[in-house]
Amino acid sequence: MLYCARPENDRPCPAVVVIHEAFGLDAHIADLTRRIAAEGYVAVAPDLFSIDPFGCTVSPDEIKQTMSLRMALPAERRGNPAALEDALGTLPPARAARLREVLAWSTRRNPAALVPPLERVVTWAQERVDTTDAVGVTGFCFGGGMTLRLAFAGAPLAAAAPFYGQNPPLEQAGQVCCPLLLMYGRNDPFIMPGVPALLSAVQEAGLTYELHVYEQAGHAFLNDTRPEMYHAPSAQDAWGQLTRFFARHLR
């Protein structure tokens, strides 16, 4: 399953693949996909969580419920399986059983297994009759990490713009064939510790890249549906950086 938006004109346009956050293909990602289309691109957002070799599919709401359940625990107990099970025990049995399935799905999820499906999306976007052969990719949080994995796997991209994503296999840096736009919030305890190693790999491989670290922002600072994470000045500047980056490399 995927969500697709395009500009109103009939001319062939470059394509941009938009990779969702850990919540899946939700209304926020659909909105970002439309915003990118309005800049003059065929924008395609695949639902990676609809691909599961174990036969389980999950919805964005279910993922958000499991995250909310975990975040409601004291910080020191969020990684404790017994504490999470205690929280599940307070829910109606049917809902608790379903959320256990979602948590099990999350545990066995393998990001590396999602690179080939993303490569097929890139090929599909290139071969559409309403696109040029230039394809860019951007992603946020989980999607930022997948953007890096896709680029580091050597996908035929013209530009890649990951937002606050986890590092890919850094030994694959030599396979990257496109410029990178790397976007981070300084106050991101999840992602920032890995940035020096990523930069070392990128520089050693001689890659073309831009780095923007927003000093007042944290993780998920572009997500305006999460007031506790959104940082408007950083988000506005980052969006301008993204649109200019794609304009330089996709047109």
CA distance 161 to 251: 16
Residues 220-235, buried b or exposed e (16+ Cβ, 10 A)? bbbbeeeeebbbeebb
User: What pLDDT is attached to residue 9?
Assistant: 85
Return the pLDDT at 56: 59
Residues of the chain with pLDDT under 70: 51-56
pLDDT at residue 52 in the model: 59
Q: How far apart are CA 151 and CA 139, in angstroms?
A: 12
Q: Would you say 18 and 36 are in contact if contact means Cβ atoms under 8 Å apart?
A: yes
At 157-167, the pLDDT tens digits run 999 999 999 99
- 172 secondary structure, DSSP code: G
Is 184:195 a contact under the CB 8 Å cutoff? yes
pTM of the model: 0.87
* Contact indicator for 47, 2 with CB cutoff of 8 Å: yes
Please report the pLDDT score of residue 49 as a whole number. 82
Q: What are the residue ranges spanned by the domains of the chain?
A: 2-51+124-250, 60-109
pLDDT at site 54: 47
- Cβ-based neighbours of 163, under 8 Å, separated by 6 or more: 138, 139, 140, 141, 143, 144, 183, 184, 222, 238
- 2-51+124-250: CATH topology is Rossmann fold (3.40.50)
